[in-house]
Chains A and B, each alone.
Chain A
Amino acid sequence: MSPCAPIDRRQFIKASAELAGALILGFYLPGSAGQVSSPILNQEFRPNAWLVIAPDDRITVLCEKPELGQGSRTYIPMMIAEELEADWSKIRVEQAPTLPSIYKGLRTGGSGGVVNSFDQMRRAGAQAREMLVTAAAQEWSANRSDCRAENGSVVHVGTQRRLRYGELASKAAKLPLLGLNNVALKPFRDFHVVGTSVPRTDVPSKVDGTAKFGFDVRLPGMLYAVIARCPHFGGSLQAFDASAAKQIPGVKAIFAVPPLPRKLNTAGGVAVVADSNWRAMAARKQLKFIWKKGSREADSRTLRQSLERATRGEATYVAVDRGNALEVLSTATRKLEASYESPFQAHATMEPMNTTVQVREKQIEVWSPTQFADEVQQEIAQLAGLPSEQVIVHMTLSGGSFGRRYQWDYAAEAWQVAKNFKAPVQLLWTREDDMQHDFYRPYNFQYLSAALGSEDKPLAWSTRVVTTPIAETNVYSGYDESPEALKNPATVAALEWYGADVVPYDIANFRLDYAPVMSPVPRSWWRSVASSYTPFAKESFLDELAHLIGRDPLQFRLDLLANDSPNSARVRNVLQIAGKAAGWGQSLPSRQGRGIACFAGDTCNAQIADVSVDDDGTVHVIRVTSVVDCGLAVSPDGVRAMTEGAINFALTAVLTGEITIKDSAVEQSNFHDYQVLRIHESPEVDVHIVPSLEPPSGVGELGAMLVAPAVANAIFAATGVRIRRLPVDSALLQKVHS
């Protein structure tokens, strides 16, 4: 959570002055009323760092959160407009500048965009509103309590006199600043902007081609670069021959780029810089290399054996141990055991990684599609040996992220290339680069074991999670980044098992433990992180138990919910709504099936998948019903969009997607061999949002968590075949003719 600290004005002005050069570059800098020499600026009302009200009524919202497609440039202004009582048509949105001393939230992750902004952005709007009301009351010499804010104006209740915010801006700017924490916020039930489906502010620019992504940055004299990276994880560049490549017209330079240490994890290789993308790529094809290969340990086949072995060895970390699970399991007479496997996955954002850097004397300017602008700034400052104030980072639109742009390896590489030129340089990753040098979703195995007691009640359950842990290779572990940190099993395990706990199912004896298998393949967050694979095992295994004892999978879940667990009522509710909406219990034609899964967290979710399976084993996901309890839905249509999108995103990992490593290199290179979901494979999606006046919780990753178990359970219902490895192997599902 971002702290809701009032902005220190002196600090604000100091930081603004330090970046005064940025103004020349068309970089928008919020100042403080009365502190800027321009007479026009003097008439603007800037109560805080996120809001500028101009004399012509225009309201500029400076959005800290990156826009990756999740709608931050709409839901942030909605929160401000709600409390400001603004006229929505007057609002325009800009990306806040990368000034971490002022803006503490120049990043997003963990589905936190709404949650982490909700309080602060409403306070920003309320602060401005209260000061505008005071300004109007003073103007009219009226009682403040007789004045109220309404649709971009302050109205005097008795006389119906009215002053627009623009007319009040210069007066409000001269009032003493009201503390952000000293403003009253509306009760949720009075909201009229938040909770409605306001059209997204970024959509028009994304249908007419004017939206500018990182890769669309065009600067005078800009050069274009690609890097031929070492394809072997743990390998290195031994030698290269650029004689043919240098003959390509427009090539400016070809030089080796060393791998970057620490957790940046860049491969290193050979950079080609030219006057166009095409020429840079053409020259790269003419390069000849000798690469040193990495260890065989990196290969998928070897890794798979190590992971499977670790499901039976010692755990390094026990995450949960309630009751006496191991003992109950060791003496149980009725047991079920199963192992589940999910391989590496790529993010495969539609916009490949790229960053543009201009290195000047004592100043570096960076344009990057990033999820984490302040870290890009710090990293490049550190690499260049400059104070971070001398690195200006423009956070551009991102063409998808899904966790990939939480790393800044590509921005650091762009600096490595650009530091050799006076001109700005844009580093493009080709699709092949992007596919083969991703930070992948960890390879994982889960081994589950359950004991049934009298009346078939699950008495004990244990889950062993084995993964190639993110902390080993990630640029931002969130913890201590020293190599010693990896000796702490809790640090290594922390990102790997979330979602595997059986709560709120009532199982008295439960143990969840973890074992890592180290690997040189880079890994990171992949939409929903561990929850992209833990529910696959947990909710499939629960389905296995239900079928073993002949119970209906939906009723089995409802009966198993603990009465005293805080999320039980919410999970029960989403399960029941989903069952009703999807027609649970209806009979289906041959080789069609319906599967259910649920998730309990800050946001609760139930999903039901309808599938049909062809005689040749091809799986068609026909429909997914998803019921979401995310507290107050700030934008209901935004929640629907995120849910639809996350389901489609995750279906790639269920049906077709798999990254494999051979000879210490990724075998896939483009969309022909890493096949992502296409429109004809995408189901109908039916989203239901539970009405709620509880505080909002995240939805960006939610939809990605349950589609694997819901589809796997539906495949079992359709065919009687249990899917325990993803992506689904259709050969297992071919109809057997007798």
Chain B
Amino acid sequence: MSQFTLVINGKSRDVDVEPETPLLWVLRDSLGLTGTKYGCGLGLCGACTVHLDGKAVRSCQTPMKSIGSKKIVTIEGLGEGGLHPVQRAWIAEQVPQCGYCQSGQIMQAVSLLRSKPHPSVDEINAGMAGNICRCGTYQRIRRAIQRAARERTV
């Protein structure tokens, strides 16, 4: 067991866990932030995607000991009190079906748009290929990212 102080969604949180514990389980089990999902445990599906210093990472592959002072943002903190423009685009395009993967999809899409504000369809496909949606909302994910980019809101 080790003490860690994390900065999550702008707030400082203390946890006492084994250093190898992946961030995913600390978020979900220690801190009650269940918006970040478990999907595969191997970084294959993207359901657990969060931001570490603004970049998308797979929290199931991010051990506590590797985080240091990096700032963590989860789906719960993305909109900073309101909805992030990408979340609004997700609503406008009615993307979710079951919705389980969508936190990860949205976190990945925000990260993609930060590096490529106006991605082509190929760039969207490449940037989102690590996030699985078994309901098959891919067509709407593409549209929502294009909408968010078009509205120049990121």
Contacts and interface: CB of A to CB of B under 8 A. Distances in A.
B and A form one assembly = yes
Interface of A: 68-71, 199-200, 202-213, 215-216, 218, 224, 249, 276-279, 281, 348-352, 397-402, 428, 430-431, 637, 641, 644-649, 670-672, 676-680, 682, 684-685
B40 A670 contact: yes
B110 to A, nearest CB: 12
A208 B45 contact: no
A249 B18 contact: yes
B4 interface: no
B36 A350 contact: no
B126 A680 contact: yes
A667 B102 CA distance: 29
Query: Which 3 pairs from chain A and chain B are nearest by CB?
Result: A209-B35, A648-B136, A399-B100
Contacts of B99: 69, 202-203, 205-207, 211, 397, 399
B153 interface: no
Contacts of A207: 83, 87, 90-91, 95-96, 99, 102, 106
Contact of B94 (A203, A398, A430): A203
Nearest to B125: A680
Given A199-B91, A249-B18, A671-B45, A684 B139 contact: yes
Nearest to A426: B29
Interface in B86-121: 87, 90-91, 94-103, 106
Greatest chain A CB density within 10 A among B39, B90, B99, B136 is at: B136
Contacts of B30: 276
Contacts of B67: none
A69 B94 CA distance: 12
30 contacts: A70-B97, A199-B91, A203-B90, A203-B96, A204-B91, A205-B99, A206-B102, A207-B99, A207-B106, A208-B79, A208-B83, A224-B29, A276-B29, A281-B41, A348-B134, A350-B37, A350-B45, A350-B47, A350-B98, A350-B134, A351-B39, A352-B39, A397-B98, A400-B100, A431-B40, A641-B94, A671-B45, A677-B136, A678-B138, A679-B129
Given A218-B34, A224-B29, A397-B98, A670 B42 contact: yes
Given A206-B96, A649-B134, 7 more contacts: A209-B76, A349-B98, A349-B100, A350-B132, A352-B39, A678-B138, A679-B138
Contacts of B45: 350, 431, 671
B29 A641 contact: no
Chain A at the B interface: SS class: loop
A582 to B, nearest CB: 16
B12 to A, nearest CB: 20
Contact of B25 (A205, A278, A348, A352): A278
Contacts of B131: 678-679
A646 B139 CA distance: 12
B75 to A, nearest CB: 4
B74 interface: yes
Contacts of A215: 34, 37-38
Given A210-B35, A637-B94, A679-B125, A644 B134 contact: no
A645 B25 contact: no
Contacts of A399: 37, 98-101
B56 to A, nearest CB: 15
A202 B42 contact: no
Contact of A209 (B39, B74, B134): B74
B77 to A, nearest CB: 9
B5 to A, nearest CB: 19
Nearest to B141: A679
Greatest chain B CB density within 10 A among A212, A646, A678, A679 is at: A679
A514 B37 CA distance: 43
Nearest to B92: A199
A28 B17 CA distance: 37
Greatest chain A CB density within 10 A among B38, B47, B124 is at: B38
A209 B103 contact: yes
B41 A645 contact: no
Nearest to A68: B98
A671 B138 CA distance: 17
Contact of A682 (B28, B95, B136): B136
Nearest to A649: B136
B140 interface: yes
Contacts of A680: 125-126, 128-129
Nearest to A648: B136
B42 to A, nearest CB: 6
A362 B87 CA distance: 45
A592 B131 CA distance: 28
Contacts of B87: 207-208
Contact of A645 (B34, B129, B136): B136
A203 B134 contact: no
Given A209-B75, A277-B25, A399-B99, A682 B44 contact: no
Nearest to A678: B129
Greatest chain A CB density within 10 A among B47, B87, B91, B135 is at: B135
Given A278-B21, A670-B44, A431 B97 contact: no
Greatest chain B CB density within 10 A among A211, A399, A431 is at: A399
B62 interface: no
Contacts of A351: 37, 39, 98, 100
B63 to A, nearest CB: 10
Nearest to A210: B35
Contacts of B58: none
A430 B41 CA distance: 8
A352 to B, nearest CB: 7
Contacts of B25: 276-278
Contact of B132 (A249, A276, A637, A678): A678
